[in-house]
Structure 1
Amino acid sequence: MKRMLLLLLLFAAKTLCAQQPYKFFPLFLDKGLSDARVNAIAQDHLGFMWFASANGLNRYDGYSIKTYYADVKNNGLSTNHTTALFSDSKGDFWVGTANGLVRYNFAKEKFERFGEKEAINTAFVNCITEDSSGNIYAGTNEGLFWWNRNKKEWKNMSAQLGKAERLVTIRGLLFFDKKTLFATTEGKGFYKIDISKPAYRTIDYHTKFRDTCCLFTIGMQKMDDSTMLIGTLSLGLSKFNVNRDQYIPTEGPLTLNDSILFNTTYQVIKDHSGRFWAASYYFRLAEYFPATNTAIPIPQEPFNPYGFSGNAATTLFEDRQHNIWIGTPKQGVFRFNPSQNGVRFYSSTPVNKEGLQPGNVMSLARLGNSLLMVGSDVGPNFYNKAQNRFINYRGIAKEFGNLPLEQVQCGIMDREGMVWMGTNRLGLMRYDTLKKTFRTFGRLTPRDTLKDDGINHILEMEADSIMLIGWNRINTFNKKTFKHHSFRNDSLPLYKLKEVADVCYDQTRQFIWIATINGQLYQYYPANKKLLDRSALMTAGLSSAIINNIDVDGQNRLWLASSIGAVCIQEGQPPKFYTFSQSPGASKEIKNVVANGDDLWITNSRVLARLNSHTGKLFYLGEKDGFNNVQLFANSLMVSAWNTVLIGSSRGFYEIDAQIKEPSNGSSPAFLTQFKVYDRPLETGEAISTIQQLKLGYDQNFFSFDISAFDYSQGTDIEYAYKLEGFDNDWQYIGRNRSGSYTNIPGGHYKLLLKARNSNGEWNENGQSVKIFVAKPFWLTTWFRILTVLLLTAVIYLFYRTRVNHIKKEARLHSDYAIRLNDLENSALRTQMSPHFIFNSLNTINSFINRNDPARANQYISKFSKLIRLILDHSRQKKITLAEELEVLELYVQLERIRFDNKFDYNVDIDENISTDSTEIPPLIIQPFAENAILHGLLPLAEGGVLRVAIHKTAASILCIIEDNGIGRKQAGLNKPDYTAHRKSHGIDITLKRIELFNKEHSFEGRVAITDKLNPDGSPAGTKIEIPIALEESF
């Protein structure tokens, strides 16, 4: 039996050469799958993928999985064991379980069960389908049930047909036409049912293997109007002619095999292109070819990151993007797309001797028509395309003369068939393809050491020479004599070049392009060893470019891979620039560029793209092509002899069809998959992915959402953007992040717009749009404002009535207040005229008389009497003009100067913008402060006292400044006796109160400020008083 199984496996391996290089993407427990035992797969009308498993039901949006576990009270699911899935033509989604059939409510995200008395509620459901009228059929262990959509009732068709005991354990249902339903069972017969009558017929099997009526049959798939494919428990995959009841076994491994007890085929599907795929227990996934009636299994590749590593397959499903999903009994789910076969991956393997040995593929080189050098960090490898096998050599990290080296960075095959390979720090290596022998040259080579042994480029020249770039210096090496030339032993200008990045040969014009890292260009003619500086081609826009690699295309245009992108240089024309444009802020750097016809292949060591040199359009290879989460080695990029593009990676190397086609369906539209308010899912009346409007309360203005294009081919290559019209001015670009959020959105009407972009930069702006209404807080609504106005009116009226009553009461007290205020004014005025001042003034007059100085006595008496008269006149007025106030001040200061023998000087400065005759202030406001400054600040000085009075105008006030250069308040307080201090304090306090009352009466908040001035050494320098008075002018 083992021998037979081995022969079958060898047969499958040989026929595999005809298979296309598919890439499989797993979905396992680490991605959120609840159980690796997958029983069924389906896609609902919104685009979600569903996986029924032995422990939970899983819903997948391309990014995350939501699992439903049994919870009858909260979600309606009665068991974790889910067995069948079906999305009908009406948009309903059905889930079969080991304990009944349920229907999914998209709006509530819950499962709905049928009446308690319905037998379907407890049946073990294996399969589900529908007829042309939308009626549902469920194949269960208890029989065939059907649901009349119009009458909303379930019936047992097995009982209707009189086969309640026989038509049970149904494993498959297939409508061959509108009225003919085929049903497979677990050894209970194969049935052809006419649902229009209803009537049935049991089909017996007549084959070359056996005649039986009771074969265990499972999955079915219609091929044409007369034929179907049937999967069985032990006979594998078979064809069945429905007209002749003829049963024809297929060829290949999916047929009767005495060495395999149950060569089971669980399911067969026909994809959109007419290809047939079968899920097999022993042979995993297989493709069936009708022309040869043969099924060929897909190989199992556990070490290939894009291979199918599953041991068995139980269920298959094709989604809208034509991905085929494979459910396995132990290893979760796999996905692949048969139409995306333009990229093949050669994975390293530690077990297959004819496979690629493990290592980072750092370089690739063409060695003839069917041979390829694959250089890795562990050594050189050689791939024979015709034989599809590798010859691997394990390198060493020491130059040893005739052993292979590791760290292989470049290679070529010369005209004699010898392979030359450069290594990183280990020198040059020659491989004889006929003798299978190596020879190495490096810094330890006797007689002619090769010290520039970090070789990353090799170019064959005329005669017997090859050009090497080692440590960014040029060396030429003779293949016959093994002698080399460099700046160490040759003065040729070629060898003086430093920081050399790359070289390439212009076949048409017979010269070598040389580019340095810092942007210098040269042309070298090997025939006459002439070196020309062509750096003038590097225009101003290229002055800061760092060059990584170069290449020449068929039109003799020079292409640069640089820090500012891919640059095309053609003599007589300005340079053209091309950069990756996948996402804003991405690096512009291109690491390598390879020309192939009209196309240019460019890479930055993470992304690979094809550039059309005519249109400038870029075609990116992404996750769908296997380029996801992989490190590329840019220096390995090349075009093979069979016109494919190759590039090495950390896990093997890729082979890309140079004419690989771009996806024809463009970018998919974006839809909401979740909407949360304050991080809690929002309950709506319909599915969130189809909803067109949402109403949110004023306290629901903090919300977030998730987005998906439901494009499982593009996967993580898709980028998203969203915009809330009425709030955002621009689109919010979130790249591959698929979540958005808004906080504190004001009440109003908005529209949420979504769009998605595929890997080629094509935006689809026809995504879901949702009108969102956010209610305003009740205190901002119209009705609340009207109510507020009414309440405010009532309050104002009540206030008005209260105020009138209060005014009446105040009126009664006003006369008393006026009397008190008048008393205060008179008291203040009387206080200003100090008895000491009057007494001293009379003594001064007396002294003038005694000295027989009648002129000065008369002058003093005249000024003194005028001052007394003005003070008495002002005591009867509430306001006087500024001119009158200044007249009082002038008289007082002159009298004091006469008294004290002109011991101090004074000056008064009036702002020219002030009209002193029309500006009104309370009487005797300035004089008390001037008196205080003279008596207590200036008189104690020996000499040099100055009193300054300045009056300035502001917008709403006048500012009076009284300033002296006296001894300061602190010293004055120590000098004057208690009675003088008490008198001053009382007079000044009353004046301050009068100023405060005047300003308050005129709604002015200014206050008097007193500042003690200081000299630089900290000693007193006098006092400054600032009196702001409300501006009042009379006209």
Structure 2
Amino acid sequence: MKIYRFRLFIFILLLCSPAALLTAQPLSFRHLNTASGLLSDQGIQLCEDRMGRIWIATDEGINIFDGYAVTACTRDNKSGLLNNRINAILCDSAGTIWVATPAGLQYKNENSNRFATVENPSRLPLEKALLIREARTGILIFTKDSCFLVDHHKRVRPLYGISSLISTRANMLTASHVEGDTWLLGIRAKTLMVDIARQVLIRELPYDNAWSLCRVKGSEWLACGLAGDSVVLMNIDTGTMELVNNWKTANGKKLVGYGSEIERIDADRYAMGTRYHGLYILNTKTRSVEQYGNDPGDATSVNSSFLRRVLVTRNRTLVVHGNGISYTTLSEPAFSAVRSFTNEKRIKYQNVVNCFYQDSAGQLWIGTNNYLIKWNRHDPVSRFYSYYGKDEGPLDMRTIRAVLPDFRNRIWIGAFGDGFGRLRPDGGFDKIPTSITGRGDSLVSSEFHRVVADRHGNFLVATGARFYLFDPRTNKLETFRGHPQLRTITQGYTTHFFADRNDNWWFAQSRGLSFYDKKTDRVHAIALPGSQRDNNIFAVEEDLNGNIYACGYYGVYIIDPQTLQVKKQLDKSDGLETSYVVGLLRDLEGNIWIIGNRGLACYHPGAGTVVSFDEKDGLIQSNHRVSAYYRARDGELFIGTQTGFNHFYPSTLRIRSYPLQVFITDVYAEDSVLNVLDGRRLRFSYRGNSLVFRYLTVDYEHAGAMQYRYKLTGFDTTYIYAYKERLARYTNLPSGDYRFEAEASVNGKDWYKAVHPLVFTINRAFWNTWWFRLSALLLLAALACLFYKWRIGQVKKEARLRSDFEIRLNELEHKALRTQMNPHFIFNSLNTINSFINCNDRILANQYISKFSKLVRLTLDNSRAKKILLRDELEVIKIYIELEQVRFDQRFAYTLSTGGIDPDMVEIPSMIIQPFVENAILHGLLPADRPGTLMVAVSQHAATLLVVIEDDGVGRQAARKQKEQRPVNRKSHGLDITLKRIESFNKGYNVFEPVRIIDLEDAEGRPAGTRVVISLAIADAF
């Protein structure tokens, strides 16, 4: 009953005064909820993948947050999830995401976009899993009363020993790895130390109902639970416990328990979520705590004081769940930031900061749009002072544009539109009336932009209409309207009235920069480089060497004080975040701090170098204010913005490197999504040449300022600036090799490349590939070859048919020739016989008739055969020659030889020699005017039979002339037919020697006859 009453009291206290739980609020949280894309705010589990993304498991699916965008992974979007209710989630050391759902245990490899299901042939109750942990031998799965191990081959087996230890005591709550196979198990009883491999209990620890166990160092562990309000620092070797509830906050309040989860921040600090009291940061070194709860009036506080889940990422981002997700960075920035002020009445101011002044006690006085605020960095409560116009009401509060002390260290303020005021000890203000020392003034502009004190204690006042010199001792205001030199520039929009070390004056105005030399009583207009019409100057500063610096829309101008010429200009191209510069401030070391509309830079006059800073260094992501900057006596610099201010000591500023990790995650091609985190080389078909690349960098602090650029080497010649777009689209890419690169930057100057550029190839269309073209050429060549062979076959067939036809025709012609020759020869022979009879030469007539009859008989016999014996052919030749000798009165002699060849063993075509013999007699020997000789010689040469017919007649040329002189030229086809018969006969024996006809000459080169050489294939007679 006492416990119940205590809890009820705490609950009522929370309802009545949530702000009472708050102490200092240096952590600034951002938020995610269902309006930001969260699927649900119930059943939340958190884990971080190897890219640094936060996986948020809910009862409606999984969200993935990278600092900029929230994506969803559900059963309905082809993720492979079997059920949207996620009971547990883990990212193991290989990057595999494990989830437990009512449908079973599933996992997604880092280089995959789909979840797969762990096979469960034994039907183990994996659907009841509540915790997933990574062990040395695999993945541990805990249900309410059981434990299972999934080995590296995705095989599941129960751990009966561990399951027995859990089920015999109470429900499973948490599990934490100690070392090796040793684990701590938090259950609804004593905390257990077990050996997972041997499945045995090592010892029981005295802490009950441990919902979270977090190692501190060595054997010291922090333990907390939602069932009780005690938080302890426990030694797991001895079992001794220290009650953390006795640790106190800065304002002396003790820690209240009901811890839900503890996560390590660093060696000394630990973040703990609680049921009722928000977030605690436990410091084990100082034994102190910081508390961060929900403040309804502060949008940067945690969303709820009931926090169930806590996660600290590798890049030191703190993530908590309670009425949505709240997250903040834990890294110490280079620049400290103050974004809000709260007074004793819990009134909060988190708006524009205009000016600063630090008094001798170290209190900082800050002019804002609503109040003059006294701020103490060691006290969370600030004091607000209101300065009113005519009426004292919230609508009549004036903007404080200047705050500075006078010679008596009284605090003065310059109110925009309402003159000077001086702070009284009671917190009120005295409005200071001013007397005009200039002549002809009836109206004084009090639209203050900047008020500073010179070495004489006078206030140099810059306003929206003119500049003044104010003496706080006499309240006299000098307008310079009657000044012989300054009156020419007194009227004009002035943002800075500056006195240099020689007590000369510089005026930053909308018309430009002017310099007044008191010694010479002259005003000089400073000529600025460039052709811009807008020469608005916002601020003036002087370095230790007397060089003057002025700034405006186009950067910083460095002016030689002797020549009054601009000798150097600094702008964005020199490393500034922007060329739009609103302020200049010199630190104690002589460096010039350049305050851009956004961003900050330090210029070292000696080295001439520029070092830039931006949001990643801790600068508030807001525009800087004209004149909202200040250097305290100890050297600390203050820079005001639209939403607070930054402060830092330049001498102790640590410049850190903030490399960004850029990932190319997916490629969309042909209606599919490919995970490319492993950086493998891809190959796409010619149809898949329209691609979409997705890339990102995980940064929870500067995601809003992140910008990207990309380049597709092989297609793009320069980087494409995508700004915040994280998709790159390419359509109709030609075939070839490509390399996609993506880069990210926070400030637009420092670019960081993707960890794994994506290399891929788009294949050629098959008709454009070398193998297709080669195949096509080979096919065409093969077709051409086949066609050629077919055509050659056709030609050979036609030639064979033609040859057969010609042979047959030749045979017929030969037979016809012989048929024609026989009567002709008979006629000539009969004439010869008749002449013998007329001469009464019976003996010659009888001899001639005998030989003639024999020749006729042999001719008739031989004409019936294609081939005859060489003896028969030679006998016909002999009879024919002898008859011709008789006929022509022995005008020629002849020889007939066989060269050792047996004429009875060789066959030749019939009547193949006779036409050449006849031609030699008739056209060679007879036309000669002298007796001649005819030689017929047959010999064997290699595989051929050589027949030589040689005469010593007139030769072919003389015979041709005689033929041309005849009145009638009859064309003889006998010799042509004989040549074709010889060619056809030889072709059958693969002999291709042509008939050679040789013209013979004597020693003096005169025609001496003709020789015919016939090469015949040797055909043996059988």
TM-score, with structure 2 as normaliser: 0.67
| Counterpart residue number, 2:152 | 149
| Counterpart residue number, 2:673 | 682
Per the alignment, do residues 269 and 723 of structure 1 end up closer, same or farther by CA in structure 2, a change over 3 Å counting? same
Q: Does the 8 A contact of 2:118 with 2:155 survive in 1?
A: no
| Counterpart residue number, 1:549 | 539
- For 1:744, which of 708, 732, 739 is the aligned residue? 732
How far apart are the structure 2 equivalents of 1:394 and 1:221? 49
Q: CA deviation at 1:773?
A: 0.8
Q: Does the 8 A contact of 1:514 with 1:524 survive in 2?
A: no
| Counterpart residue number, 1:275 | 269
| Counterpart residue number, 1:1031 | none
Q: CA deviation at 1:197?
A: 2.1
Per the alignment, do residues 393 and 171 of structure 1 end up closer, same or farther by CA in structure 2, a change over 3 Å counting? same
Quick check: 1:704 aligned with 2:692?
Answer: yes
Per the alignment, do residues 531 and 54 of structure 1 end up closer, same or farther by CA in structure 2, a change over 3 Å counting? farther
- For 1:591, which of 582, 595, 605 is the aligned residue? 582
| Counterpart residue number, 2:504 | 511
For residue 728 of structure 1, give the secondary structure of its aligned residue in structure 2.
coil
Residue type at the aligned position of 2:198 = K
How far apart are the structure 1 equivalents of 2:574 and 2:232? 48
Quick check: 1:667 aligned with 2:659?
Answer: yes
Structure 1 unaligned segments of length 5 or more: list them.
206-212, 801-1035
- Compute the RMSD of aligned alpha carbons: 4.3
Residue type at the aligned position of 1:189 = K
Alignment map for 1:815-834 (pairs within 5 Å): none
How far apart are the structure 2 equivalents of 1:359 and 1:730? 42
For residue 165 of structure 2, give the secondary structure of its aligned residue in structure 1.
coil
- For 2:260, which of 266, 269, 275 is the aligned residue? 266
How far apart are the structure 1 equivalents of 2:434 and 2:126? 79
| Counterpart residue number, 2:938 | none
| Counterpart residue number, 1:192 | 193
Per the alignment, do residues 309 and 70 of structure 1 end up closer, same or farther by CA in structure 2, a change over 3 Å counting? same
Per the alignment, do residues 341 and 578 of structure 1 end up closer, same or farther by CA in structure 2, a change over 3 Å counting? closer
Q: CA deviation at 1:562?
A: 1.4
Quick check: 1:34 aligned with 2:28?
Answer: no
Q: Does the 8 A contact of 1:174 with 1:221 survive in 2?
A: yes
Quick check: 1:83 aligned with 2:71?
Answer: no
How far apart are the structure 2 equivalents of 1:241 and 1:478? 69
Per the alignment, do residues 540 and 315 of structure 1 end up closer, same or farther by CA in structure 2, a change over 3 Å counting? closer
Q: Does the 8 A contact of 1:557 with 1:570 survive in 2?
A: yes
How far apart are the structure 1 equivalents of 2:453 and 2:575? 40
How far apart are the structure 2 equivalents of 1:490 and 1:252? 71
Quick check: 1:23 aligned with 2:11?
Answer: no
Alignment map for 1:862-881 (pairs within 5 Å): none
For residue 110 of structure 1, give the secondary structure of its aligned residue in structure 2.
coil
| Counterpart residue number, 2:240 | 246
How far apart are the structure 2 equivalents of 1:300 and 1:318? 19
Q: CA deviation at 1:439?
A: 0.6
How far apart are the structure 1 equivalents of 2:566 and 2:456? 36
How far apart are the structure 1 equivalents of 2:685 and 2:763? 5
For residue 687 of structure 2, give the secondary structure of its aligned residue in structure 1.
helix
| Counterpart residue number, 1:566 | 556
For residue 131 of structure 2, give the secondary structure of its aligned residue in structure 1.
strand
Quick check: 1:65 aligned with 2:70?
Answer: yes
- For 1:775, which of 741, 744, 763 is the aligned residue? 763
Structure 2 unaligned segments of length 5 or more: list them.
1-5, 789-1022
Quick check: 1:296 aligned with 2:295?
Answer: no
Deviations 1:897-939 (A, max 9, x none): xxxxxxxxxxxxxxxxxxxxxxxxxxxxxxxxxxxxxxxxxxx
Q: Does the 8 A contact of 1:521 with 1:535 survive in 2?
A: yes
Deviations 1:682-718 (A, max 9, x none): 34xxx32223212112122121222112233442333
For residue 704 of structure 2, give the secondary structure of its aligned residue in structure 1.
helix
How far apart are the structure 1 equivalents of 2:419 and 2:156? 80
Residue type at the aligned position of 1:333 = S
Q: Structure 1 vs Structure 2: percent identity of aligned residues?
A: 18
Q: Does the 8 A contact of 2:146 with 2:166 survive in 1?
A: yes
Q: CA deviation at 1:265?
A: 1.2
Per the alignment, do residues 760 and 238 of structure 1 end up closer, same or farther by CA in structure 2, a change over 3 Å counting? farther
Deviations 1:25-54 (A, max 9, x none): 323333322223463222222443211223
- For 2:625, which of 630, 633, 639 is the aligned residue? 633
How far apart are the structure 2 equivalents of 1:310 and 1:273? 27
Q: CA deviation at 1:193?
A: 0.7
How far apart are the structure 2 equivalents of 1:583 and 1:721? 19
How far apart are the structure 2 equivalents of 1:580 and 1:450? 41
Quick check: 1:287 aligned with 2:243?
Answer: no
Q: CA deviation at 1:65?
A: 1.8
Per the alignment, do residues 383 and 731 of structure 1 end up closer, same or farther by CA in structure 2, a change over 3 Å counting? same
How far apart are the structure 2 equivalents of 1:574 and 1:483? 36
Q: CA deviation at 1:794?
A: 11
Residue type at the aligned position of 2:353 = V
| Counterpart residue number, 1:377 | 369
Q: Does the 8 A contact of 2:165 with 2:201 survive in 1?
A: no
- For 1:102, which of 94, 99, 106 is the aligned residue? 106
How far apart are the structure 1 equivalents of 2:169 and 2:147? 7
For residue 716 of structure 1, give the secondary structure of its aligned residue in structure 2.
helix
Q: Does the 8 A contact of 1:138 with 1:144 survive in 2?
A: yes
Q: CA deviation at 1:564?
A: 1.4
Quick check: 1:342 aligned with 2:356?
Answer: no
Q: CA deviation at 1:245?
A: 1.5
Residue type at the aligned position of 2:61 = G
How far apart are the structure 2 equivalents of 1:698 and 1:121? 48
Deviations 1:984-1027 (A, max 9, x none): xxxxxxxxxxxxxxxxxxxxxxxxxxxxxxxxxxxxxxxxxxxx
Q: CA deviation at 1:748?
A: 0.9
For residue 382 of structure 2, give the secondary structure of its aligned residue in structure 1.
strand
Residue type at the aligned position of 1:595 = R
| Counterpart residue number, 2:970 | none
Alignment map for 1:92-171 (pairs within 5 Å): 92-97=96-101, 100-118=104-122, 122-131=126-135, 133-149=136-152, 152-159=154-161, 162-163=164-165, 165-166=167-168, 169-171=171-173
Per the alignment, do residues 555 and 284 of structure 1 end up closer, same or farther by CA in structure 2, a change over 3 Å counting? farther
Per the alignment, do residues 545 and 689 of structure 1 end up closer, same or farther by CA in structure 2, a change over 3 Å counting? farther
Residue type at the aligned position of 1:314 = R
Q: Does the 8 A contact of 2:297 with 2:348 survive in 1?
A: no
TM-score, with structure 1 as normaliser: 0.66
Deviations 1:703-759 (A, max 9, x none): 122211223344233332222222222222333333222222111111112233343
Q: Does the 8 A contact of 1:83 with 1:96 survive in 2?
A: yes
Between Structure 1 and Structure 2, whose CA radius of gyration is higher?
2
Q: CA deviation at 1:262?
A: 9.4
Alignment map for 1:321-720 (pairs within 5 Å): 321-326=315-320, 328-340=321-333, 342-347=335-340, 353=345, 356-357=348-349, 359-385=351-377, 387-398=379-390, 406-433=398-425, 436-441=428-433, 450-461=443-454, 465-488=458-481, 491=484, 493=486, 496-499=489-492, 501-503=494-496, 505-506=498-499, 508-523=501-516, 525=518, 531-535=521-525, 538=528, 545-571=535-561, 575-580=567-572, 588-597=579-588, 598-613=590-605, 614=607, 616-622=609-615, 625=618, 627-628=620-621, 630-641=622-633, 643-656=635-648, 658=650, 664-677=656-669, 680-683=671-674, 687-720=675-708
| Counterpart residue number, 1:173 | 175
| Counterpart residue number, 1:804 | none
| Counterpart residue number, 2:876 | none
Q: CA deviation at 1:228?
A: 1.0
Residue type at the aligned position of 2:105 = L
Residue type at the aligned position of 2:415 = T
Q: CA deviation at 1:6?
A: 11
